[in-house]
Structure 1
Amino acid sequence: MIDSNLGQMWLLSYHKGKHWILIIIDFDHQLCYFLDSLHNFPPNEIKSLISRVFQHLRTNNAKTKEVTWRTVKCPRQPLQSVQCGFYVMRMMKDFVTNEFSMRWLTSNCGGKNSYTKDEINEVREEWAQCVMDLMSTT
């Protein structure tokens, strides 16, 4: 992160227990956006880890503000489903392909409540194609 360009964002998928979540890190503003398709709050262990990373990367000893966390109301996966990994991949895709990615993020993923089966299948197919491409090169 220390060599980040101004305005560059970091996307971190994190596996907690049996569940995937997404954290979008704005190093310049010391902001972390937390996206969880089950609408949980950021776990203390990840908040602590990210805080330590920020402390380590600071280039001077001047007191700077603490990391700010913003919980984003993102698309919610269906109850009793195990689609969290695909939801994280879809949110990542939506963020990086959106012309106004910060507006998408700060408007709670454009106000989208859930993903359709077709939207999730699109990510599944892209992921499968990527794996097939990697397998064919080895």
Structure 2
Amino acid sequence: MYNSERKRKGRNSVMWKNLAGIPPQPSNKECGYFIMRYMRDIIEDKDLSLFPVKWERRGSSHYTQADIDQMRNEWAKFVVKAYV
């Protein structure tokens, strides 16, 4: 049963937790491409033995506009190949 059905007030605001190791996102426009690039980097990493330590250090790195554009191009090629 939902809080509103029981006439209880829920949480006032969303509580976000910033995780160590995630490069900062430059703007809100590229968020999907940014996430896809980050997930691809994790998936392509062959050595996951020191995963938390290694990815925590990546927090100081940044994805450039060229990195985001590369992800955008890969996504567009996939969509064209799969659906056109």
Are the aligned partners of 1:98 and 1:104 in contact in 2 as well (CA < 8 Å)? no
Aligned to 1:92: 39
| Cα separation, 2, equivalents of 1:129 and 1:98 | 23
Q: Which structure has the highest helix share of the two? A: 2
Deviation at 1:93, TM superposition (A): 0.6
Q: Tell me, in whole angstroms, the C-alpha distance in 2 between the residues paired with 1:117 and 1:104.
A: 26
> Residue type matched to 1:41 in 2?
K
User: 2:63 aligns to what SS in structure 1?
Assistant: coil
Runs of 5+ unmatched residues, structure 2: 1-15
Structure-2 separation of matches of 1:120 and 1:109: 20
Q: How far apart in 1 are the matches of 2:23 and 2:64? A: 10
- The sequence identity of aligned pairs, in percent, is 26
Shift of 1:73: 2.9
For 1:102-138, what per-residue CA distance to the aligned partner results, in whole angstroms no more than 9, with x for missing partners? 53553326344320111111110110000001123xx
SS in 2 for 1:72: coil
Closer, same or farther: CA 93–86 of 1 in aligned 2, 3 Å: same
Superposed counterparts of 1:103-118, under 5 Å: 103=50, 105-107=52-54, 108=56, 110-118=58-66
Matches within 5 A, 1:41-60: 41=17
TM-score if structure 2 supplies the norm length? Answer: 0.63
Unaligned stretches of 5+ in structure 1? 1-39, 43-70
Deviation string for 1:40-80 (max 9, x for gaps)? 417xxxxxxxxxxxxxxxxxxxxxxxxxxxx33311111x4
Report how many aligned residue pairs link the two structures.
68
